[in-house]
Structure 1
């Protein structure tokens, strides 16, 4: 931290790269320089600003779980000292002020901000609430409505909204020396004898607060926050700001903060936070490897997936060409892209100018020669190896040396595809999830001969287009779909044994999933799963002729789910209702395959689906398909609707204990006869770690 005195103002400049994380050294430095300024009779006011492009990113995440995080001075104490300062304190916010950085600014008397800044309190995303006065000071400055929205969503607001809400007192001019402007603003406050200001003297203005505001607000966020612990405590903290004096409110905030700290939800959410960052680190690959340029991209295929993939690059300002062999298909695909953008514009999320800017980056062609100079090409054609090989043979001929050749496959062998051309080092899998312009996950499949620079380039590219990248090895289904297979298998088998689609859906929804498996299959298309299984018949049907019999029967009857109005359910628009014919079909198939029907408990449904998903995850981890268990969790929480408050299947297993998972798997292996012996074999890694009293996160391949 830098300290200097300019005239009668002490300038304290946060200078702890990369984000001015409020770790112990920076907290100590703030205290030290604050004392120096108070002791200097020449100093009449203090300005706190930053040497970086942002003001302060909040807590130092490297201290999470260490003694330093709790060492004195803690951030609440630092903020309390600033609040109680007898000399004027101004926060000169020159960039992002998030979490503890925002709380630091709120504790100052006044806030002067650059018009480009954003301020926010994202702690709820880590299963916490702001613990350094944010829940008490923000409502006093901005009102309860703004405060509760910001704190429960974690979303930052821009400088103009912060000014309108009373969080910021004045904005600087966009041009000019920001620090000089902040000093001039502070001097003007001194010249006007502006008094020091403390939130202790402010109360929350509730004059215009709607009746039953908090009850209604709870209802409005109930679906989004289902299963999470922190959002309700955030609301309680804001309620306390209305009801209690500041000092008592701060004590209540600490009580609620501590309650959040010890929950499985906080552990899960913090696990996912670190998991996303760990996923970009590839063992044995030098992170300083020079990257390939990605300035031009081509997409092969103009259908739903190809168009959705293209939108990601257009949104990032990257020149993109879509290639299709049919001009009619191209015209249709481009029309869908434009329509999607226009719908977004009608919602106010894009301007008409932005729509046109994106469309101007989009090119279309039916000739491979037109994409000879692209840096990255992504094939998004039908999921068939022969078709993909033909596409790659042409790309091998026309694309310039060094072009990354990617396949958007969900299950096929990337190594087999790479071996069919002359440059396997340039081949990689990029498994986008549908809808590709919405879903955050990008599963990057590293082939046996994929070059390190190609791999790291695609990871960086994924971040550029705002995806969460996870690297997987080559096997059927990679991480996501391979681990999903036993989950789907058990749901289908449970239907044969007597469970209803509605019962399975309810159990999994109550567990926290976005939707249960029968509903998910209906949404994705029963035919899609059927076609996927046909690519690996021996692995499934060769072991069990009853494998997903109910799904295959519905496919045979052309009951593909929502798109045909019938699947596991009957659909009338968005409404669905149970279909007794499904259970009749299940009973007939059970009899045909010698399966005894019985009453199935909710606990059995949960354990047989979720625990077998975990078991397959252990296999994937031990085989090195995933580098770390947290990669599997990142895939599942970002691509498959696994509840974030559980932290992913592997974190959930670590939380409840691997011995619990293993015992249940062995129980069903013994109880389910031949089927149990065939399918309920514990993964060796699960057995090993459970015997050693370890967790999946302790395992390093």
Structure 2
């Protein structure tokens, strides 16, 4: 069993012992029930303490049992809590580290709760598409009040124990224990050993909110802040039920909601994202115990938008950075922008002035390569041109100390070739940050054929330290994300040829859940970037078809928000897109020149063509081994491209749609004479999995 049991001075101590977070797996649950029974049968025991071994009380369900028969095996968590609640001797939960999900629900079933300062308290189930399933939505409002409980349950956010313990009227914690938690819990247990009747959260009432519309207002706000997500809405329903029903009826209502949600597509998608993010950090041929290189000082080449954003990530993590530029004016401008970004955070109350000063103190600048020679890692963020980057890496090769990691922020270029301009190709890796680099969570780690395993292990660990979701990509043009987005954008162009307007395409895919449609995205990124890529494609892949509309737009100088005009018009100082008469006229003339009579195109077709373009190119990426698993592709799109979280990423979406249906839809698109029939031939792995009735995410 994943618990230990001993008696100290008349108090039974049940210690949860299921590393790393004392998850409530089947053996842990059984151990708690057995311990409660044993303590109640022992006349020498007057009280019981439940505590966590190691650094935490309990992180909730054991995620290793998700989807297995053990997850629901007896005793389930409801039974465990019932046994705790019905104990004839007082049960004290001693909380430290974290009490989350089922761990907090277990504590709420105890008669008393003592807590160490700094423990993180949360019911995070909403973030995997479900509601708490063991009474959390019913008991937490009884000890914290509706407003605080509703905030915690609908956001899943953790709150420090100190803050909760000091909240007026709270009944969650009976004592805040400074110093040794177990000693404090034992002393408290002896103090309450003779108290009868035993207190129970189930006996507490829940006052309805003062505002009769509070629950409806919460639903309306969540519809905006957690758009398209069902679980936050159902959390509100459950908390509202706590104000109207007794505890047993409320728990039955909560359980009914839980059972409906747990099998839903949204819950599947959010669980996939949860596990996929953790799986992304694991590289199949790089052992977990691979020795890491020391990264204590970092250098960044380039003080522009990308270089400055990259720098901020390291400053935020307390790692000193030296920025190298060629001219002092560029240095001053870049440092000024970094400071301005931090000052904006201070103005919003998100950062203290002390932290701003501390971060800026970690930043140094130079105009000489010699001054960065002792950095442990250097990241170039210069112009996206192979000639320019080759010059930089030749210089780095000559000055950097042995063992330094040399990283390129390239978004499309061949990292193998960049590595080969150095005499130390094993030290070279791609680190493709997404813009704005200090905000976006995604980091594509591009593994060249030369990159050493310890370099890969090190940069994955560094990514975690700077709070990025790192996904490994092999070397190809555009890597995972940009290679796929090119096919998405090609389809968007064909849709314009056939009769759509930019706003129709954007609205259709945004309504479906994308954060931004392809034309708004192009205007934000700069349409000239795509233009440069297409010019290269025309030379390298003359048989790849594109709509001419994007080139015509760029020939008009409409590069997007930065020029005040792109697929949309933009008013000075504003980012809101305004449909453009100039673009509409351009599209009309373009269609006339090709002899195309525009047709009405449904939102369903728009979404299908755009999203399945991502899917098919993603399948090619899997086939070629550029991505090692389908979930890695999904993580790229969920964290870097605004793909809707509730759909789980393009590859999981295809799985849920059914790969047979995906292939069927692609065959229909291939018959469109204005589309690219060759592209809609299914990637071999997609065709194979569809024929076998399998999915991308269970292909193994």
Q: Once structures 1 and 2 are overlaid, which stretch shifts more, 503-512 or 581-590?
A: 581-590
2-side partners of 1:462 and 1:171: how far apart? Answer: 39
Q: Does 1:558 align with 2:561?
A: no
Instruction: Identify the residue that residue 268 of structure 2 maps to in structure 1.
Output: 267
1-side partners of 2:315 and 2:536: how far apart? Answer: 33
Instruction: Identify the residue that residue 390 of structure 2 maps to in structure 1.
Output: 389
Instruction: Identify the residue that residue 111 of structure 2 maps to in structure 1.
Output: 109
Instruction: Identify the residue that residue 581 of structure 1 maps to in structure 2.
Output: 582
Q: Does 1:26 align with 2:28?
A: yes
Alignment deviations for residues 639-693 of structure 1 (CA, whole Å, 9 cap, x no partner): 00001111000000000101111111111112326x4334322212211111111
Deviation of 1:80 (Å): 2.1
2-side partners of 1:83 and 1:596: how far apart? Answer: 72
Q: Once structures 1 and 2 are overlaid, which stretch shifts more, 268-277 or 549-558?
A: 549-558
**Is the CA contact 1:56–1:96 (under 8 Å) kept in the aligned structure 2?**
yes
Instruction: Identify the residue that residue 619 of structure 1 maps to in structure 2.
Output: 620
Q: Per the alignment, do residues 336 and 434 of structure 1 end up closer, same or farther by CA in structure 2, a change over 3 Å counting? A: same
Aligned residue runs from structure 1 range 373-412, under 5 A: 373-412=374-413
Instruction: Identify the residue that residue 79 of structure 1 maps to in structure 2.
Output: 81
Q: Once structures 1 and 2 are overlaid, which stretch shifts more, 573-582 or 426-435?
A: 573-582
Q: Once structures 1 and 2 are overlaid, which stretch shifts more, 590-599 or 652-661?
A: 590-599
Instruction: Identify the residue that residue 181 of structure 2 maps to in structure 1.
Output: 178
2-side partners of 1:698 and 1:194: how far apart? Answer: 54
Instruction: Identify the residue that residue 507 of structure 1 maps to in structure 2.
Output: 508
2-side partners of 1:459 and 1:31: how far apart? Answer: 41
**Is the CA contact 1:123–1:129 (under 8 Å) kept in the aligned structure 2?**
yes
Secondary structure of 1:54's counterpart equals coil
Instruction: Identify the residue that residue 635 of structure 2 maps to in structure 1.
Output: 634
Aligned residue runs from structure 1 range 335-374, under 5 A: 335-374=336-375
1-side partners of 2:276 and 2:204: how far apart? Answer: 41
Q: Once structures 1 and 2 are overlaid, which stretch shifts more, 4-13 or 126-135?
A: 4-13
Deviation of 1:285 (Å): 2.3
2-side partners of 1:540 and 1:148: how far apart? Answer: 55
Deviation of 1:338 (Å): 1.3
Deviation of 1:597 (Å): 2.2
**Is the CA contact 2:114–2:177 (under 8 Å) kept in the aligned structure 1?**
no
Secondary structure of 2:676's counterpart equals helix
Secondary structure of 1:223's counterpart equals helix
1-side partners of 2:193 and 2:373: how far apart? Answer: 65
Q: Which runs of 5+ in 1 are unaligned?
A: none
Alignment deviations for residues 587-607 of structure 1 (CA, whole Å, 9 cap, x no partner): 222233454422212121111
Q: Does 1:288 align with 2:292?
A: no
**Is the CA contact 1:145–1:209 (under 8 Å) kept in the aligned structure 2?**
no
**Is the CA contact 1:172–1:181 (under 8 Å) kept in the aligned structure 2?**
no
Q: Per the alignment, do residues 380 and 619 of structure 1 end up closer, same or farther by CA in structure 2, a change over 3 Å counting? A: same
Given candidates 47, 52, 55, the residue that maps to 2:54 is 52
Q: Per the alignment, do residues 171 and 333 of structure 1 end up closer, same or farther by CA in structure 2, a change over 3 Å counting? A: farther
Deviation of 1:314 (Å): 0.9
**Is the CA contact 1:83–1:199 (under 8 Å) kept in the aligned structure 2?**
no
2-side partners of 1:361 and 1:481: how far apart? Answer: 33
Aligned residue runs from structure 1 range 139-538, under 5 A: 139-165=141-167, 166=170, 168-172=172-176, 174=178, 176-190=179-193, 193=195, 195-206=197-208, 209-538=210-539
Q: Per the alignment, do residues 227 and 310 of structure 1 end up closer, same or farther by CA in structure 2, a change over 3 Å counting? A: same
Deviation of 1:300 (Å): 0.5
2-side partners of 1:533 and 1:326: how far apart? Answer: 32
Q: Once structures 1 and 2 are overlaid, which stretch shifts more, 331-340 or 641-650?
A: 331-340
Aligned residue runs from structure 1 range 660-679, under 5 A: 660-672=661-673, 675-679=675-679
Instruction: Identify the residue that residue 607 of structure 2 maps to in structure 1.
Output: 606
Q: Per the alignment, do residues 591 and 680 of structure 1 end up closer, same or farther by CA in structure 2, a change over 3 Å counting? A: farther
**Is the CA contact 1:411–1:532 (under 8 Å) kept in the aligned structure 2?**
no
**Is the CA contact 2:115–2:177 (under 8 Å) kept in the aligned structure 1?**
no
Q: Once structures 1 and 2 are overlaid, which stretch shifts more, 565-574 or 483-492?
A: 565-574
Deviation of 1:93 (Å): 0.5
Secondary structure of 1:528's counterpart equals helix
Deviation of 1:253 (Å): 0.8
2-side partners of 1:473 and 1:237: how far apart? Answer: 46
Q: Does 1:88 align with 2:94?
A: no
Q: Per the alignment, do residues 167 and 154 of structure 1 end up closer, same or farther by CA in structure 2, a change over 3 Å counting? A: farther
Q: Per the alignment, do residues 261 and 410 of structure 1 end up closer, same or farther by CA in structure 2, a change over 3 Å counting? A: same
1-side partners of 2:74 and 2:577: how far apart? Answer: 57
Alignment deviations for residues 12-57 of structure 1 (CA, whole Å, 9 cap, x no partner): 1111111101000000000000111111222222111112111111
Q: Per the alignment, do residues 301 and 311 of structure 1 end up closer, same or farther by CA in structure 2, a change over 3 Å counting? A: same
**Is the CA contact 1:670–1:677 (under 8 Å) kept in the aligned structure 2?**
yes
2-side partners of 1:393 and 1:511: how far apart? Answer: 47
**Is the CA contact 2:113–2:173 (under 8 Å) kept in the aligned structure 1?**
yes
**Is the CA contact 1:113–1:168 (under 8 Å) kept in the aligned structure 2?**
no
2-side partners of 1:389 and 1:81: how far apart? Answer: 68
Instruction: Identify the residue that residue 570 of structure 1 maps to in structure 2.
Output: 569
Q: Once structures 1 and 2 are overlaid, which stretch shifts more, 196-205 or 593-602?
A: 593-602
Q: Does 1:657 align with 2:658?
A: yes
2-side partners of 1:608 and 1:354: how far apart? Answer: 47
Alignment deviations for residues 618-640 of structure 1 (CA, whole Å, 9 cap, x no partner): 00000000001111001000000
TM-score by length of 1: 0.96
Q: Does 1:35 align with 2:37?
A: yes
1-side partners of 2:133 and 2:460: how far apart? Answer: 34
**Is the CA contact 2:520–2:577 (under 8 Å) kept in the aligned structure 1?**
no
Instruction: Identify the residue that residue 62 of structure 1 maps to in structure 2.
Output: 64
**Is the CA contact 1:44–1:87 (under 8 Å) kept in the aligned structure 2?**
yes
Instruction: Identify the residue that residue 695 of structure 1 maps to in structure 2.
Output: 695
Q: Per the alignment, do residues 167 and 357 of structure 1 end up closer, same or farther by CA in structure 2, a change over 3 Å counting? A: farther
Q: Once structures 1 and 2 are overlaid, which stretch shifts more, 522-531 or 605-614?
A: 522-531
2-side partners of 1:536 and 1:427: how far apart? Answer: 26
Q: Once structures 1 and 2 are overlaid, which stretch shifts more, 154-163 or 182-191?
A: 182-191
Secondary structure of 1:478's counterpart equals coil
Q: Which runs of 5+ in 2 are unaligned?
A: none
TM-score by length of 2: 0.97
**Is the CA contact 1:127–1:265 (under 8 Å) kept in the aligned structure 2?**
yes
1-side partners of 2:699 and 2:294: how far apart? Answer: 35
2-side partners of 1:491 and 1:261: how far apart? Answer: 35
Deviation of 1:522 (Å): 1.5
Secondary structure of 1:575's counterpart equals coil
2-side partners of 1:356 and 1:84: how far apart? Answer: 54
Q: Per the alignment, do residues 228 and 158 of structure 1 end up closer, same or farther by CA in structure 2, a change over 3 Å counting? A: same
Deviation of 1:170 (Å): 4.4
**Is the CA contact 1:121–1:156 (under 8 Å) kept in the aligned structure 2?**
yes
Deviation of 1:563 (Å): 2.2
RMSD: 1.6
Instruction: Identify the residue that residue 16 of structure 1 maps to in structure 2.
Output: 18
Deviation of 1:539 (Å): 4.7
2-side partners of 1:417 and 1:194: how far apart? Answer: 74
